[in-house]
Amino acid sequence: MSIEQIHLALEQGHKVNWMNSLYELSYVKCEDKNPYGKASYKNGKAIRVSCITNYFGSLIHESEFKNCFLKTP
């Protein structure tokens, strides 16, 4: 997915996964000065990838956008 597609999906309330269904994307507050959030920064937030079982995660890197997909019911 492109970053534009990811933002649109999240803004519309869709679940977006990374790599497999154990990893979900979500917005977190982030300052625009944070270099790790730069690739996904929008309106005071950046996108975080988190494991749904232990909540471990980090801000998404630009190289990982291609591994994102919409969760289908």
List, run by run, the mean pLDDT of 10-residue segments along the chain (73 residues): 97 96 96 92 96 96 97 75
Non-local (6+) Cβ contacts of 6 within 8 A are 16, 25, 40, 47, 65, 68
CA dist list (Å): 60 to 48, 68, 73: 5, 10, 24
Q: What's the pLDDT score for residue 28?
A: 97
How many CB atoms lie under 10 A from the CB of residue 59? Answer: 19
> Cα(3)–Cα(60) distance, rounded to whole angstroms?
10
Q: What's the pLDDT score for residue 72?
A: 76
Q: What's the pLDDT score for residue 71?
A: 81
